[in-house]
Structure 1
Amino acid sequence: MTPELSTAGRHPRAGHVVLLSGLGLIAAAALWLVITGNSNIRYSADHEGTVPMWARWLPALVAIAVIRLVPRAPDPRWPDPPAPYREAVPLLCAAIAFAAIMPLLDGEPAYTLLKLALLLGVPAAVFVVVRRRPQWHPGPAPADAAHRFGPAVPVAVWLVLSYATPLAAPAGDWARGLPLVELVATILVVFAVNALLEEFFYRRWLQTRWESLLGRWPAIVLVSLLWAVWHVAIQGGVRPDIDLATVIVSHAVTGLFLGYLWSRYRRMWPPLVIHGALNAMPTLLTL
């Protein structure tokens, strides 16, 4: 057996099932919201404001198209020992448990404690255990110019569309009158607990390992859905079917963009910038 496999995946048939099922679920969620008259969706957990669902899709889809146009190096290749399973499976279980338990909790600090336990504690334990066995390494990020500087183009496109066009979400008002030090501290804490932790767990750790098993796009779709559904706990409140369809339509498509950014360039700063800007959008648009 060759020591390397491309991101075409060790299980292409399973990858095709995951890809088609995941995309079908996103399409079904969008159709259900249209049928039920709920195509305006919440864009923030901080208030009840809504925007048309296509306003959330367009920046992500346009940026994905731009990624395809930016030159890149060949796809990275992956080692093929059994080690990915020892990491991929428990991380997947942690993601599923997080999405399932979050709606059962009653706000903070339970949300943050659960996130730290499952999205940080579980990976730490897994990586410690795996170190005692032959390790699986995804390989370093390519050092060529396309991977170093290429992500800046789709990131800039997404930021312009999301912040400086009619697609921008309405500004929030909670930050008005807040002392500057408190405002900056809040943004930094939110960035660390949300953007930083989530991007490392969902994209760098979880998606990377499932890419080696299923292929690039099946893993991106799988992780995007897992990342989306836990938001029901903080952005729900209508009824279960509408809440689930809303977070899938809103967050899963953005997750496709975040996952593709990571998969294409293997640099953490692009998804971190997008995720941080997404969370801070209602606040920053107020300033």
Structure 2
Amino acid sequence: MRRWVLAVGFAVLIGAALVLVVTGNTDVRYTADNDSTQPMWVRWIPVAVGILLVRLLPGRLERAPGGPTDRRQAWILLGCAGLFAVLLNVLGLGLFEVLKALLLLAVPLAVFRWWGGKPTANWPTEVRWAPVLPVAAYLLLSYVGPLAAPVPDKPDLAPLELVLTVIGVFLINSVLEEYFYRRWLQTRWEQLLGPWPAIVLSSIAWAVWHVALQGRGDLGIDLASVLVNQGVLGLFLGYLWSRYRRMWPLITVHGAINAVGLMLSLV
């Protein structure tokens, strides 16, 4: 099964890129804050460099996640991810926070309490700072130099409102999403399928809900766009988690994606 999941997952990502090439939609929207776009391959370069550095640099964990394997938890979490994406597109963004709190937090915590099991517990400390270089390389390539995304317009927000917005987005998006899609979902599928099938599976699950946030109305093109953007980025985030089992690199990268553009617009 693991080979099929890996093959189908990569076929989905490659197929999405081909759809955008054939239809001439290779400039993808990368933020929900405005309609700015970048060529999809520009979005891939920092990801490719980050993955390469994780692969080549020393200081990685070379072990599978510990703890009991539980298929029920894996399938329930995957169901929550799928239901979140579907309901968000059907019901709209007005229920975004409610659906996220329910399906990505409340239900998983109830499942863990009911069935127990902590497959990510008790990881050693020798890789604590090993992710610094891959994370720094990704951020520099993404926000400094010729690959940097355009700086958005300055938001019309009062200082206190701006601070609260940044904190809220950080907690609701960066922290919660990385816990759900990587620490909880990916880890449980790693126990069943191995690292890369689980990375690809969680990356696609994370990408598809963004259609509701960044879509323009053509479902096929919108789906292909989020797969080549968030889906590919998810490979880097998932690989960071699989190799290091540290949350701070994931939250740092995800938090920067959500906040750096906003911060740069204030300079």
Please indicate, yes or no, whether the TM-score normalized by the shorter chain is above 0.5: yes
Once residues 279 and 74 of structure 1 are traced to their aligned partners in structure 2, the CA distance between those partners, rounded to angstroms, is 28
Query: 1:1-287 counterparts in 2 under 5 A?
Result: 14-79=1-66, 81=68, 83-108=69-94, 110-131=95-116, 135=117, 137-144=119-126, 147-175=127-155, 178-286=157-265, 287=267
Change (3 A) 1:30 1:137: closer
Q: Deviations over 1:235-261 (max 9, x none)?
A: 111411101000001101100000111
Once residues 93 and 254 of structure 1 are traced to their aligned partners in structure 2, the CA distance between those partners, rounded to angstroms, is 22
Once residues 210 and 48 of structure 1 are traced to their aligned partners in structure 2, the CA distance between those partners, rounded to angstroms, is 35
* Structure 2, unpaired ranges of 5+: none
Once residues 260 and 118 of structure 2 are traced to their aligned partners in structure 1, the CA distance between those partners, rounded to angstroms, is 37
* Structure 1, unpaired ranges of 5+: 1-13
Conserved 8 A contact 1:163-1:285: no
Q: Deviations over 1:167-208 (max 9, x none)?
A: 111111142x53333222211100001001000000000000
Which residue identity lines up with residue 148 of structure 1 in the other structure? Answer: R
Shift of 1:94: 0.5
Shift of 1:126: 0.1
Corresponding residue SS for 1:149: coil
Q: Aligned residues: percent identity?
A: 50
Q: TM-score, normalised by structure 2?
A: 0.95
Shift of 1:136: 5.2
Q: Deviations over 1:3-38 (max 9, x none)?
A: xxxxxxxxxxx1111111111111110111011010
CA RMSD of aligned residues (A): 1.5
Q: TM-score, normalised by structure 1?
A: 0.89
Which residue identity lines up with residue 140 of structure 1 in the other structure? Answer: N
Conserved 8 A contact 1:141-1:265: no
Give aligned pairs, total: 266
Which residue identity lines up with residue 92 of structure 2 in the other structure? Answer: D
Once residues 65 and 259 of structure 1 are traced to their aligned partners in structure 2, the CA distance between those partners, rounded to angstroms, is 13
Conserved 8 A contact 2:17-2:228: yes
